[in-house]
């Protein structure tokens, strides 16, 4: 996972983050978990990023796991997103990362290259971890170069979150297969009939730009670098700048002023692109009714979409690979876990968990329906592999896009700065 997935992830998670002490969670100690007690009990360490509510839910699932596996104890730690990776980097560099931890696609090659991640394939062969029953090909999501480096716990996909009454008033009804020309025309209607911008603006929405590139036969990343040119990015950011000037995209200075509140909930724009499972924030922040609309296309067919996912990965240094595999297997397959977690980390990745949790609130129902519609429309494709250094590129795109939107950089300067930083990150 601008209003891009990275911005919202950072905003939502950091805003709701809490210290370990706040929940009375055990601190991380030791290297690769405890060696084990005399009675055969072993302890594994589990770390993730998120807010208090996620921590409470996860701790409930751990109680279920420890009940089923009484010889395995779990020590836990969680941090807001940025703090998590800062701490994890320190632990990994010191040779004592947690046994199992929450992970994301942008970090797989990075930490595989640093010899941090355990290839879970052997545990699958040993019967300690099952890759059966995953939805829409998600079982392949954590495979890199023939190694299973992560197992999905939930899914999400990019979507257009809209203020439904605003779209209705403007006479705009997004449908699967609508084009970018249709979208541009809709933004003008919303501007003219609602008095607000049609969209928050795509300056730093890296994962939306990735979809646009994929629609045009390219991608943000290839296996070993960037999959687009400076000219491509110049066109993208020039269009964003012109959109603000014409009022179809929101004034980025106003967007910055109301953070962490979204521009849609603050009634600065009629919609914005983000991950579908972030939709819950809008109902909490705003007064209107919000929904999900399809991604515009270049040709009326190809959206470039894929299901993204948070994952569970294991440390190569763990002393308990079997127990870690059993823990991951439980967390992604057990139906009771899904009932506790809901859509906190996205729509459940396995069919058994998806069937076990049936949302009753309108927002989560719409998230489920949206992902079902993507499968039914046949638009989902495999995600493009992210190279080592992808996380640095993502952070640079976010920061430089914000600077451009705030008028601190010209388009040419922003493009050159992004490529300079990305080439350094991808060559290291």
Rounded Cα–Cα distance for residues 193 and 239 (Å): 22
Cβ pair 244, 124 in contact under 8 A: no
Rounded Cα–Cα distance for residues 383 and 376 (Å): 18
Rounded Cα–Cα distance for residues 4 and 203 (Å): 9
Cβ pair 317, 96 in contact under 8 A: yes
Per residue of the chain (428 residues), give pLDDT as tens: 433 344 334 343 333 333 333 333 333 333 444 556 667 899 999 999 988 889 999 999 999 999 999 999 999 999 988 899 999 999 999 999 999 999 999 899 999 999 999 999 999 999 999 999 999 878 889 998 899 999 999 999 999 999 999 999 999 999 999 999 999 999 999 999 999 999 999 888 999 999 999 999 999 999 889 999 999 999 999 999 999 999 999 999 999 999 989 999 999 999 999 999 888 889 888 999 999 999 999 999 999 999 888 999 999 999 999 999 999 999 999 999 999 999 989 999 999 999 999 999 888 899 999 999 998 999 999 888 789 999 999 999 999 999 999 999 999 999 999 999 999 999 87
173-273+284-305+384-427 shares the fold of 5-156+308-357: yes
Of the candidates 131, 155, 77, 40, which has an alpha carbon nearest to the alpha carbon of residue 325? 131
Asked: is 5-156+308-357 a CATH 3.30.460.10 domain? The reply is: no
Residue that has been written with the tokens 């990015």 in this structure: 233
Q: And the tokens for 188?
A: 């003008």
Q: And the tokens for 292?
A: 């999900």
Q: Residue ranges of the alpha helices (H) in 200-357?
A: 206-215, 230-246, 252-257, 280-285, 321-333, 335-341, 351-356
CATH number for the 173-273+284-305+384-427 domain, one of 3.90.1170.50, 3.40.190.10, 3.30.413.10, 3.30.390.50? 3.40.190.10
Q: And the tokens for 400?
A: 């430089």
Cβ pair 288, 165 in contact under 8 A: yes
Domain regions of the chain by residue span: 5-156+308-357, 173-273+284-305+384-427
Rounded Cα–Cα distance for residues 210 and 422 (Å): 15
């Amino acid at each position: 996972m601008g209003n891009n997935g990275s911005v919202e992830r950072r905003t939502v998670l950091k805003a709701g983050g809490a210290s370990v002490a706040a929940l009375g969670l055990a601190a991380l100690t030791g290297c690769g978990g405890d060696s084990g007690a005399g009675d055969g009990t072993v302890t594994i360490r589990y770390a993730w990023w998120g807010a208090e509510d996620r921590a409470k839910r996860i701790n409930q699932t751990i109680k279920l796991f420890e009940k089923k596996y009484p010889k395995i104890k779990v020590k836990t730690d969680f941090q807001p997103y940025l703090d998590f990776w800062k701490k994890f980097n320190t632990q990994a560099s010191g040779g004592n990362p947690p046994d199992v931890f929450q992970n994301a696609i942008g970090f797989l090659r990075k930490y595989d290259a640093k010899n941090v991640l355990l290839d879970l394939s052997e545990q699958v062969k040993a019967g300690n971890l099952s890759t059966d029953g995953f939805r829409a090909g998600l079982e392949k999501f954590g495979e890199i170069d023939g190694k299973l480096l992560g197992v999905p716990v939930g899914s999400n996909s990019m979507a257009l979150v809209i203020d439904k009454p605003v779209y209705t008033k403007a006479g705009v009804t997004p449908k699967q297969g609508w084009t970018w020309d249709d979208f541009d025309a809709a933004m003008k209607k919303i501007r003219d009939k609602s008095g607000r911008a049609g969209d928050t603006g795509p300056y730093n929405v890296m994962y939306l730009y990735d979809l646009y590139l994929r629609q045009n036969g390219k991608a943000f990343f290839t296996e070993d670098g960037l999959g687009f040119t400076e000219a491509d990015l110049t066109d993208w950011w020039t269009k964003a700048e012109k959109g603000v000037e014409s009022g179809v995209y929101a004034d980025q200075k106003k967007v910055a002023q109301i953070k962490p509140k979204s521009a849609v909930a603050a009634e600065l724009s009629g919609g914005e692109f983000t991950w579908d499972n972030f939709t819950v924030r809008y109902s909490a922040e705003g007064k209107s009714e919000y929904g999900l609309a399809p991604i515009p296309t270049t040709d009326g067919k190809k959206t470039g979409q894929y299901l993204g996912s948070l994952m569970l990965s294991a440390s190569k240094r763990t002393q308990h690979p079997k127990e870690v595999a059993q823990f991951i297997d439980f967390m992604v397959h057990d139906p009771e876990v899904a009932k506790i977690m809901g859509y906190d980390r996205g729509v459940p990745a396995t069919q058994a968990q998806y069937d076990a949790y049936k949302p009753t609130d309108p927002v989560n129902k719409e998230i489920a329906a949206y992902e079902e519609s993507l499968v039914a429309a046949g638009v989902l494709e495999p995600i493009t592999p992210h190279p080592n250094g992808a996380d640095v590129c993502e952070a640079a795109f976010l920061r430089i896009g914000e600077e451009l939107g705030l008028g601190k950089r010209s388009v040419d300067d922003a493009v050159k700065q992004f490529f300079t930083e990305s080439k350094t990150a991808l060559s290291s």
